Amino acid sequence: MPDRSADWLAQAERDLEVARHLLEGGFYEWACFVAQQAAEKAVKALYQHLHGEAWGHAVTVLLESLPEEHHPPADLVEKAKALDRYYIQPRYPNGFERGAPKDYYTRKDAEAAVSDAQAILAFCASKIS
C-alpha cells in the first residue's frame, strides 16, 4: 500500500481550518465535530506513515494503539478523550432529550476542541516529518 500520509495530513490541516471558520461563524457544534475529524485524520496520517492500518473513529483508541515508540504523552490522550465526545452528539438532535445540538455547544467548547485538535495534529506532524 502506498504511503498517503501527506494526503491525510493535508486534509487534517484543511479540516482544522474549516473548524476555525465554523467557530468564528458561531457554528459551535459543527466546529467541535470538524475538530474531532481533523484530529482523527491526523492520527490516521501517522498510521499511514508507519505503514499501519487504522480503523474506527475514536481518536483516543487510535492514539493509544500506536506502536510504543510513538505513544503520545498523557495530556494528549486527555485531549483526544475530549474530542471523542464530539463525534456523534453535535450532529444529531436525538443525542439529547430535547433541543438541537446547536443549543448545547458554546464558543468555549469549540475553542477547546480546535485547540485540542491542533495539539494532536502537531504531534502527528512531528512524527511524520
pLDDT in tens, 58-106: 999 999 999 999 999 999 999 999 999 999 999 999 999 999 999 999 9
Calculate mean pLDDT across residues 23-31: 98
**Is residue 53 scored above 90 in pLDDT?**
no
For 5-128, CATH gives 1.20.120.330
Query: Is the pTM above the cut of 0.75?
Result: yes
- Domain chopping of the chain, boundaries: 5-128
Rounded CA-CA distance 39/60 in Å is 10
**Is residue 1 scored above 80 in pLDDT?**
no
Rounded CA-CA distance 52/45 in Å is 10
